[in-house]
A and B are shown apart, each in its own frame.
Chain A
Amino acid sequence: MTDWLSRHVPKIVLAPTFFAVLLFVYGFIAWTAWVSFTRSKLMPRYDIDGLIQYDRLFSNPRWDTALNNLFVFGALFIVISMVLGLLLAIFLDQKIRIEGALRTIYLYPMALSMIVTGTAWKWILNPGLGIQAMVQGWGFPNFKFDWLINPKMALYTIVLAAIWQASGFVMALFLAGLRSVDGEIIKAAQVDGIPTWRVYTAIIIPSMAPIFLSAFIVLAHLAIKSFDLVIALTGGGPGYATDLPATYMYAMAFSRGDLGQAASSAMIMMGVVFAIVVPYLYSELRAKHD
């Protein structure tokens, strides 16, 4: 009896969550996929009608903009956050006196909600209130910094705010990674008279590969789900210049009563996520077999 219990209790305990996840995650993914093949408007309908929603999606210039923005924003955000985070971590790793305080200061932006970050940066970047007005007030009337209202540059204001928010967190990740590198190897390298920058580039950073991967995964999913930052900072504007797939999907589902369109854009977003997560899972699982 106790044998039977000890074998089956874990299964019994896990069963409810297992079924909940099966239904509320995978069930609803399947449901969304189904809806994306229908002509659903205000309410879901279930008559399959081929790829009509995907056709509409990819002939819509606004979706093109949204998808392009995601790749530009994602690439810049991930690369710059990682580089900046790594540099900050290396600087902080130099056994300086007020490291604790500095670490808190750099990490602090992560404690703010994206909405707060977005709203604050909206004021800072507003040409009539923020940096532009301030510098002009200092006596440089020709100074211009109007990215926020310039459709070609507005996307980069989102990159700016997102980096400000996330790079401290990346720094914390890397700092932990740096501290975990075996001190013996570093000492051995120093004894051999190898310059510090070579120690970092040839020994420490390569040994931190798993941390890079984790940081990349975290940043990539932050980029794909970015929604609140755009809403607070630019509202998707000027025009729809800073639209991202998430804001596109929201507009279709909740403002325009175009559920089929929203579902198809959600499926594409999921495809993008899978493209990142599947290789990651693959490498994780393979590592276990070795």
Chain B
Amino acid sequence: MKHMTAFAALSAATLTATVAMAEPQAEVLHWWTSGGEAKAVAVLQKQFSDRGGVWTDMPVAGGGGDAAMSALRARVLSGNAPTAVQLKGPAIQEWYDEGVLADISDVAEAQHWDDVLPAQIAEHMKCDGHWCAAPVNVHRVNWVWANKSILEANGIEMPTTWEEFNAAADKLKAAGITPLAHGGQAWQDATIFETVVLGIGGPDFYQKALVDLDPDALTSDTMKSVFDEMRKLRGYVDDNFSGRDWNLATAMVMNGEAAFQIMGDWAKGEFLAAGKEPGVDFVCAPTPGDAGFLYNVDSFAMFKVDGKDKQDGQKLLAELIVGPSFQETFNLNKGSIPVRTDVSLDKFDDCAKKSAADMKADGAAGSLLPSMAHGMALHGAQSGAIMDVVTAHFNSDMSSDDAVKMLADAVANSM
């Protein structure tokens, strides 16, 4: 009998819980599982529950999101998609084409996203004209990080053209210092490649070659000189670079084993975590070239879900993600900059301030461009084909002529 009472009490409690279940629900699939990233997600989680929501975390670690995408595929195929999923770039539209993304335009319009987000970036968040994803942050990809004391000891200024970079690197090499810290993984080779395309060809050429995949641009002489520069850069890398992780390359700059690293601003997180200060211990500058800002924007795409509680959760999530307070705390933790242009940057470091100012200026000048190497510009199969060529060229003695031909073939083959 005693058990019966306990059981009755328990079911009553469950019942009340069910009645109170009208609260917003969200199941969020993401792969931010490392220290700073997990902290950044916890910020969102807390804000969500502060507003009365129930958050179900679905972190899938590993593989730069490969594992998470497999989990997503399985969930979508079984007709049980998560509420929100960490997705970016053209992958959002690819999923939209499969007919599984939801419409969050009412939130976006109520919150005036169009007024606060850079137009180019907002475009990635729209599917057929309506909003289907919420942007979280902006990473700038075309950064050079340098060890300040090495530069000073060798009388080197931060290079602003690739010629200056080559001159500086030759000088460092003669002095017995590894000029460029680099990890030989395909995406890292491609990261350098796209900054060279931007620096040598300029923003218009970048757009034509790596976004529109114009065959004339891909086989042009400019592209040949890009591969010539890649060959030179290969000579500035130490012998041991193959397969090295990017953060180990960053550590080389930090410890004075190498002078420069070309890497997105997540490298800054490594410097800051080691207690280094921008402008004092290390220098940040855009990669050589006149103009241009290559962005890598993380975002959450909203999937079609059933039930008002889940749809409410989706809307609340979207509102919070683009909200100014989350944008500030999240990006301070993640090392990126807010995607909103109206967030105060007082708490951010100098590199982030420079990044935000450039984003505004390049946005107005039309040179705010999606990163190819980080899946913002092209579908996976297309950027994959380009990365294959870039890494094959970088790791062999292929001539620039052959590389250009191979590039055009690979792009045509990937369609």
Is B241 in contact with chain A by the CB < 8 A criterion?
Answer: yes
Are the CB atoms of B66 and A239 closer together than 8 Å? no
Known: A60-B413, A237-B184. Contact between A254 and B392, CB under 8 A?
no
Binds B, one of A14-22, A87-95, A145-153, A182-190: A145-153
Q: How far is the CA of A42 from the CA of B76 in the complex (A)?
A: 11
Is B98 in contact with chain A by the CB < 8 A criterion?
Answer: yes
Q: How far is the CA of A239 from the CA of B184 in the complex (A)?
A: 8
A246-275 interface code vs B (CB 8 A; 1 in, 0 out): 000001101111100100000000000000
Q: Main secondary structure on chain B at its contact with chain A?
A: helix
Is A117 in contact with chain B by the CB < 8 A criterion?
Answer: no
Is A207 in contact with chain B by the CB < 8 A criterion?
Answer: no
Q: How far is the CA of A128 from the CA of B63 in the complex (A)?
A: 26
Q: Which residues on the B side are within 8 Å of A255 (C-beta)? A: 63-64, 66, 380, 384
Is B391 in contact with chain A by the CB < 8 A criterion?
Answer: yes
Closest B residue to A258 by beta carbon equals: B381
Are the CB atoms of A56 and B413 closer together than 8 Å? yes
- Total interface residues on B, CB under 8 Å, equals 37
Closest B residue to A122 by beta carbon equals: B243
Chain A residues numbered 110-141 whose CB sits less than 8 Å from any CB in chain B: 122, 126-128
Is B342 in contact with chain A by the CB < 8 A criterion?
Answer: no
Is B158 in contact with chain A by the CB < 8 A criterion?
Answer: no
Is A156 in contact with chain B by the CB < 8 A criterion?
Answer: no
Are the CB atoms of B413 and A239 closer together than 8 Å? no
Are the CB atoms of B94 and A237 closer together than 8 Å? no
Are the CB atoms of A149 and B185 closer together than 8 Å? no
A258 touches which one: B77, B184, B186, B380 (CB < 8 A)? B380
Are the CB atoms of B73 and A146 closer together than 8 Å? no
Is A36 in contact with chain B by the CB < 8 A criterion?
Answer: no
Q: Which residues on the A side are within 8 Å of B414 (C-beta)? A: 56
A148 touches which one: B94, B242, B395 (CB < 8 A)? B242
Closest A residue to B76 by beta carbon equals: A43
Are the CB atoms of A257 and B395 closer together than 8 Å? no
Distance in Å: Cβ of A230 to nearest Cβ of chain B:
11
Q: Which residues on the B side are within 8 Å of A149 (C-beta)? A: 184, 239-242
Distance in Å: Cβ of B20 to nearest Cβ of chain A:
37
Are the CB atoms of A237 and B392 closer together than 8 Å? no
Are the CB atoms of A258 and B384 closer together than 8 Å? yes
Is A210 in contact with chain B by the CB < 8 A criterion?
Answer: no
Are the CB atoms of B413 and A127 closer together than 8 Å? no
Is A2 in contact with chain B by the CB < 8 A criterion?
Answer: no
Are the CB atoms of A151 and B395 closer together than 8 Å? yes
Are the CB atoms of A237 and B242 closer together than 8 Å? yes
Known: A41-B94, A43-B98, A56-B413. Contact between A241 and B381, CB under 8 A?
no
List residues of A whose CB falls within 8 A of some B CB: 41-43, 56, 59-62, 122, 126-128, 146, 148-149, 151, 234-235, 237-241, 251-252, 254-258, 261
